[in-house]
Amino acid sequence: MRALQSTSLLLSCMLMGVAAGGLSGCATVKPDSINPQQLAQSARADTHLGWKPAPANQLNYSLATSSGIARMEMRELPIALHAVTIELPGMRNIEGVQWRALDGEHELLFDGGEGVDGVTVERRNRGYRLQVRGAALDSIRSGGFLTVIDYYRN
């Protein structure tokens, strides 16, 4: 009887996965958990996006590029999210951080010297660390494209 119940549960999970568009598995997911791989992706061929562990209600990414222009596409962010941190290894002198929302609105989040309220850019040993919180996070929460521009490279 127990084997029949397990088989029935497995079959139900597989059917739910197929109905949702593919075999996604049957893992227990907490409603309040945030999966960074589902919320962002690289938006340029030369940009590599990685995910790092982060405290609860925060996201931590690593964004590297060979051209000096790194771009990531972000989907709508959960309300429970308090901060997005992006490690930028290899960047030498960030000239700007731009945001373009899916509705076409755009904003300069960092101009090379100063960030808008809630945006900090911190120099690290190898590159930079960008953090978006508060009002700035609310402005990007609906989804869009984040572009980080390093100084001009030949």
Whether residues 14 and 64 fall in one domain: no
Whether residues 87 and 118 fall in one domain: yes
Whether residues 5 and 45 fall in one domain: no
Q: 44: Cβ–Cβ under 8 A, 6 or more apart, which residues?
A: 65, 67, 69, 70, 71
Whether residues 17 and 63 fall in one domain: no
Whether residues 56 and 89 fall in one domain: yes
Mean pLDDT, residues 49-77: 92
In angstroms, the CA 135 to CA 69 distance is 25
Whether residues 63 and 118 fall in one domain: yes
Whether residues 21 and 79 fall in one domain: no
Question: Residue 17: what residue type?
Answer: G
Domains: count for the chain: 2
Q: Read off the CATH number of the domain in which 111 is found.
A: 2.60.40
pLDDT value at 70 more than 70: yes
Whether residues 21 and 49 fall in one domain: no
Whether residues 105 and 45 fall in one domain: yes
Number of H helices, E strands in the chain: 3, 10
Mean pLDDT, residues 76-89: 94
Query: Pairing mode, if any, of strands 58-65 and 83-88?
Result: parallel
pLDDT value at 98 more than 50: yes
Q: Does residue 88 or residue 8 have the better pLDDT? A: 88
Q: 91: Cβ–Cβ under 8 A, 6 or more apart, which residues?
A: 68, 70, 127, 128, 148, 150
Q: What DSSP state is assigned to residue 77? A: P
Whether residues 53 and 23 fall in one domain: no
What is the span of the domain harbouring residue 97? 32-150
Kindly report which listed range (3-7, 49-53, 102-106) carries the lowest average pLDDT score: 3-7
Average pLDDT, the chain: 79
pTM for this model (two decimals): 0.74
pLDDT at 152: 62
Residue 145, phi-psi category: left (phi > 0), alpha (psi -120 to 50), beta (remainder):
beta
Whether residues 17 and 71 fall in one domain: no
Whether residues 26 and 37 fall in one domain: no
Taking only the tens place, the pLDDT of each residue in 15-59 is 333 333 333 333 333 334 567 778 888 888 888 999 888 888 999
pLDDT at 7: 32
